[in-house]
Amino acid sequence: MTPPDASAVAIDAGSRFLRVARVEADGTPRLVDLPGAVPGEGLPTPAAACGDRDTALRLAYAAYREHFGTPDRLVLVVPQPEQDRPAPDVGVPRPRLLGTPHAVLALLRRAGGPPAWPLLVCDLGASGIGITRCALVGRMVGVSRVTRYEPGSPGYGAAFDAAVLDGAGIAVEEPDVLRGLALARAANARRIEAALDRMALRPDRAERFADTVVYEVAGREITAGVVYQALSRLTDGLDRALAEARPGPDRLHVIAVGGPARSGALIRHLTERMGPAAPLPDGIDPASAAVLGAALVAAGRADSADRYPYAVAVRVHRTVAGRPRDGELLISPPGTLVPGGATVFAEDRGEQVRLSTAPAAGGGDREVQLVVRDTGAGTAVPAGTAMVPAIADARLHVGLRITTDGTARLVLRPLGRSPDDAHPPQRPPTEIPLGALPVDARPAETDRPPDTRGVRT
């Protein structure tokens, strides 16, 4: 039997469980069975790491390396707003951060894609709720209207757990109790849903089913009535999150992931308000969807679609040994531009490059042309033109950003009149719309090299 691909690993560190996944030899992503893990859940998050995602990620990675060695590639799942922050130091290799929506959508896109765009990704976790509106823009998945709702201690899904245990007279502080709760739910999932369905569909007769025992934890019986009452913690919190997200009047397809997304009653509550549910691939647990999608990305089996895949450059004049030469200035390497992310400025050995605009005869704006190229491609593909104001002796940094709707903007940040100007005037950057960047960087036979006139280094 061919062993799984241990060279690529993904980790999703939640406030209750640490999930580690990799891709099996048949291409199927699965949770890694680590010592002490709860089946279907992962390693319980130590109390010392609760609320500290970086510490939790380090602990999960250390547990994997102890039993399976160091992988070649590592992807860490984080909430969408944290995707552009520096990756935590967890050891080698240097990890890549992947936002939860892109991780989930990598899983769906590998299985054929969601039924429609745009759509909402609802990340329902123990500590809070993340709601992200996603749309397909070229070869990327752009995100907008990112909302994070955290109700405070004990959290969101954790508040539901606490209400269930409290209703049965069980203290929630014991780690073994939470482990037992997870195991009991997994073993009795169908019984729980059947009981809740009966109560939700016939609220006038709900009391008749309230005393039905659906599972046991720590020797105590948990009844359908206790679970049904605690469900309001989930539905009320979801309503609050949707109100803050203000997704608009249009009904959108919704993907719900995270532990609470296992509840059919909660998903019905969500879809009644927002639109039809986009199903996960068969057999995928909503609680593991993000880490399984990230494992596919780590193993190169799926495209994360969270970054523009090609390099973007601007045609410039350079002076080399006193002689003018035409060339390209790389603004953004492949995989650095994120829809809705920060501006990427042209750099040389870690320092942002200073440019000057080329004054035209008689002044006025100059046409500057941008190009994109695939890795290893010998010919550049035109990516649009921009009219840049020509200011004699002015210096600026040139950058690029992609908006949430997928269109690019050339960003010119003014500096001093000379490289020695230590205190340049504070002027706002100029942004020039470029439209959508090319979705295919393979040059056509009719493509001609772009004009190099415009700016100089």
- The helix/strand count (H/E) of the chain reads as 9, 24
Q: In this structure, are 350 and 406 located in the same domain?
A: yes
pLDDT in tens, 435-452: 888 887 776 544 444 443
- Give residue 385's pLDDT: 87
What per-residue confidence (pLDDT) applies to 453? 43
- Same structural domain, 201 and 126: yes
Whether the Cβ atoms of residue 277 and residue 267 lie closer than 8 Å to each other = yes
Provide the strand spans (E) within 14-149.
17-23, 29-31, 43-44, 73-78, 96-99, 119-124, 129-137, 140-149
Helix axes of 264-274 and 224-245: crossing angle, nearest 10 degrees: 30
Read off the pTM: 0.81
Provide the residue count of the chain. 457
CATH number at residue 78: 3.30.420.40
Same domain, 435 and 355: yes
Give Cβ neighbours of residue 349 (< 8 Å, ≥ 6 apart): none
Which contacts (CB < 8 Å, 24+ apart) does range 344-347 have? 344/399, 344/400, 344/401, 345/397, 345/398, 345/399, 345/411, 345/413, 346/314, 346/397, 346/398, 346/399
Phi and psi torsions of 409, nearest 5°: -135, 130
State residue 379's pLDDT score: 74
**Locus of tokens 């992807």:** 75
Do 28 and 52 lie in one domain? The reply is yes
List C-alpha distances in Å: 60 to 64, 121, 285: 6, 25, 20
Whether 235 and 93 map to the same domain: the answer is: no
The residue written with tokens 């950058």 in the block is: 399
138 & 56 share domain: no
* Residue 58 pLDDT: 95
Token pair 């046409």 is found at 367
The confidence score (pLDDT) of residue 450 equals 41
**Do 330 and 204 fall within a single domain?**
no
How is residue 64 written in tokens? 């994997």
Same domain, 219 and 325: no
User: How many alpha carbons fall within 13 Å on the CB side of residue 264?
Assistant: 13
pLDDT at res. 2: 47
Q: Say what the pLDDT of residue 294 is.
A: 98
Listed as ranges, residues in the chain with pLDDT below 70 are 1-6, 173, 317-324, 357-364, 375-378, 391-394, 416-426, 443-457
d(CA 212, CA 282): 30
Query: Residue 423 belongs to a domain with what CATH number?
Result: 2.60.34
- 3-class secondary-structure state, position 260: helix
- Residues 264 and 339 both lie in one domain: no
Same domain, 98 and 142: no
For 105-131, the pLDDT digits (tens) are 999 999 998 999 999 999 999 999 999
Q: Which helix (H) or strand (E) holds 274?
A: helix 264-274
Q: Indicate the number of domains in the chain.
A: 3
pLDDT for 447 equals 43
Are 243 and 207 contained in the same domain?
A: yes
Q: So what's the pLDDT on residue 89?
A: 92
Digit-coded pLDDT (tens) for 74-109: 999 999 888 878 889 999 999 999 999 999 999 999
Q: Check residue 279 and give its pLDDT.
A: 93
Asked whether the beta carbons of 97 and 83 are under 8 A apart, the reply is: yes
Say if residue 118 is preceded by a cis peptide, omega within 30 of 0. yes
- Per-residue buried b or exposed e for 67-90, using 16+ beta carbons within 10 Å of the residue's own CB: eeeebebbbbbbbbeebeeeebeb
Q: At what angle do helices 289-298 and 100-110 cross, to 10 degrees?
A: 70
Q: What is the pLDDT of residue 104?
A: 97
Express each pLDDT in 216-262 by its tens digit: 999 999 999 999 999 999 999 999 999 988 777 788 999 999 999 99
The predicted pLDDT at position 446 comes to 43
Q: Do residues 7 and 78 both lie within one domain?
A: yes
**Domain containing 143: what range?**
115-277
